[in-house]
Amino acid sequence: MSAQEHPLVTAYRQFSPTSESLAERTQAVFPGGDTRSSAHYDPYPLVIDSASGCRMWDVDGNEIVDFMNNFTSLIHGHAHPDVVAAVRSQVAKGSAYAAPNTDQIELAELIAARVPSIDQLRFTSSGTEGTLMAIRCARAATGRQKIMKMEGGYHGSYELAEVSLVPFVDGRGPLEAPASQPVDGSFPESVFHDTVICPYNEPDLARRLIANHAHELAAVIVEPVLGSMGMVPATTEFLECLREATLDHGIVLIFDEVITLRLNEGGAQTPHAVTPDLTCMGKIIGGGLPVGAFGGKRELMQLFSPERERPVMHASTFSGNALTMAAGLAAMRVYTQADTERINGLGARLREGFNQTFAQAGLAAQMVGSGSLSNIHFTNDAIHDSRDSMAAMVGAGHISRLLHLGMLRHGVLSASRLMYCVSTAMTEGEIEFAITALNETLQELRPFIEQDRPGLLVA
């Protein structure tokens, strides 16, 4: 422990001594002490012992209300009885067959019946694989090479999906023509030539960029809510613009609904009334097990048919495995439109309560989002796109980290980037608990904000 360590970090260590001791072991076997970059935070993450519903217990016995839900994938929280029963039954019969099974067929039928854009689909092992295969489908269909993605958009763990994920001020270019940027040193130069970056929520600029690059664009891929850059909702006008422009130029429009499928039985495309050519899915459709999928128009999906002379190649060892299909079918069967409306309402109440608490504390901060998905930003300026999110992150400095650790000590888990999501296991009681925890945490943070980030205080 550093002699200069922040007092609130020291308080976190005192709260979680067993997790700290285990963190020393993880350093020996994992680079940096973790096997998953997005789940890591300093000084170390809590080690979880068990979970049920919307609550988890760490190895020190602390009870935590889970507002992260494995980055939005646990729509029913942990250990839902129907999912547990389905997994127990299936694992006794075998976990993976390399063959079709009835749960696989029924889950595909359920998804196709709910999501407007899907005639046929294919399961994958992750959302990453789902977006990758959707892009390959678009390239095969159009004979073109490049894709357009949104600045700040995240579509998985491969280079093409991560170009300009973070709009670093140094080198991001003008808003009307954003530059393709790497997030780390692993990117080959070729990936920058294969991507056109589009500003989010800028319909006129998007229309112009699509027209300028139409002859080389296979696909435009977009999240209806910009997830990893702060849960920034797309406007209907923006999504309509993308639909119109891609239709005009014969470009495949892909909606990445890996996160947003939870917003409605038919995904975010239903309330927006915008139907893409392909939709990528993941997270909630696996019932808590690894999963992904992509689907869309029959003529596009038929490019994968083994009955074709040269189908688009898609081989994946655990795609559609029996265990995931059993868990996913159980979870999706009990996730109804009424559930989406209830948890979207709880998400709206969470945002309202947090924003009232920030205002009462005299702090320039806000929670934004859509339905059951939310994120905190340290600014009172409107959050329109990833550049706005980035500016708020820079302005907050280490206050974001201290807020995250403080909320953990008060019994509330979010993503370290301050993303919150609501599960069906939650009630108004958990929402009010989180609002109270925020109020208590901000009282502890106040002197440090006054000292280190006085610009966040509202006069």
Describe the strand order of the beta sheet including 373-377 as a list of residue ranges.
366-370, 373-377, 419-421
Decide: 158 and 221 in contact? Cβ < 8 Å. Answer: no
Given the residues 58, 66, 103, 256, the one annotated as active site: 256
In whole angstroms, give the CA distance from residue 398 to residue 378: 11
Given the residues 58, 103, 149, 154, the one annotated as active site: 154
Q: What does 93-136 look like in DSSP terms, one character per residue?
A: T-S--SS--HHHHHHHHHHHHH-TT-SEEEEESSHHHHHHHHHH
| CA dihedral for 31, 36, 41, 47, sign (positive or negative) | negative
Among 355, 411, 360, 402, CA closest to 379? 355
Given the residues 58, 149, 283, 335, the one annotated as active site: 283
In whole angstroms, give the CA distance from residue 456 to residue 459: 9
In whole angstroms, give the CA distance from residue 271 to residue 391: 30
In whole angstroms, give the CA distance from residue 339 to residue 334: 9
Check if 12 is active-site. Answer: no
Check if 297 is active-site. Answer: no
Q: Which amino acid is at 135?
A: I
Among 359, 326, 350, CA closest to 106? 326
User: 269: part of which helix (H) or strand (E)?
Assistant: helix 269-272
Decide: 147 and 160 in contact? Cβ < 8 Å. Answer: yes
Among 451, 288, 435, CA closest to 351? 435
Check if 283 is active-site. Answer: yes
Residue with tokens 């280079």: 159
Other residues' Cβ atoms within 10 Å of the Cβ of residue 106? 15
Decide: 336 and 265 in contact? Cβ < 8 Å. Answer: yes
Look up residue 49 and give its two tokens: 């012992």
25, 43, 88, 130, 279 from 133: Cα distances, Å: 37, 37, 31, 5, 11
Return the half-sphere exposure (C-beta side, CA atoms, 13 A cut-off) of residue 316: 22
Q: Which residues are catalytic?
A: 154, 256, 283
